[in-house]
Amino acid sequence: MFNSLKPIAAASLFAALAFATPSIAATFDGDWNVQITSSNAACPSGASVSIEINNGQVASNSAAVTASGRVADAGNIRVTLATGMKRATGSGVLNGTSGSGTWRAALCSGTWTAQRI
């Protein structure tokens, strides 16, 4: 009988965690300006993208670029940016009001830095 209750208990625990109070990742909520630098001279460099973080979820502040991703409690971030047919993924760390990391696309890669606006 107890073995049949394990899946129900696990499902209840996951449901409770999904509705728990907002995580520490919410500390990174707000608008961020991201500067993108390419390590390949043939790829554009110096672009700037504005993103918004809300309860740890990443979204774009621009109609030209879509952004999705998540910030973990420790500030680790994973992001996907897309515009038209172009797509890039990035990862890194946010620290209160700034952050940095790396990104990669089909033919290009580089680094990024971010500042909270």
Phi-psi region at 35: left, alpha or beta (left = phi > 0; alpha = psi -120 to 50): beta
The answer as to whether 17 is a domain residue is no
Q: What is the mean pLDDT of each run of 10 residues along the chain (117 residues)?
A: 43 38 71 94 86 94 92 94 93 95 94 96
Give the span between the Cα atoms of 76 and 117, in whole angstroms.
19
Contact 92, 99 (CB under 8 A): yes
The answer as to whether 11 is a domain residue is no
Q: One-letter amino acid identity for 95? A: N
Contact 36, 114 (CB under 8 A): no
Q: What is the pLDDT of residue 63?
A: 87
Split into its structural domains, the chain has a count of 1
The answer as to whether 68 is a domain residue is yes
The answer as to whether 10 is a domain residue is no
The answer as to whether 7 is a domain residue is no
Query: Domain holding 33: CATH number?
Result: 2.40.128.120
Q: What is the pLDDT of residue 41?
A: 84
The answer as to whether 110 is a domain residue is yes
The answer as to whether 71 is a domain residue is yes
Domain limits at 44? Answer: 24-116
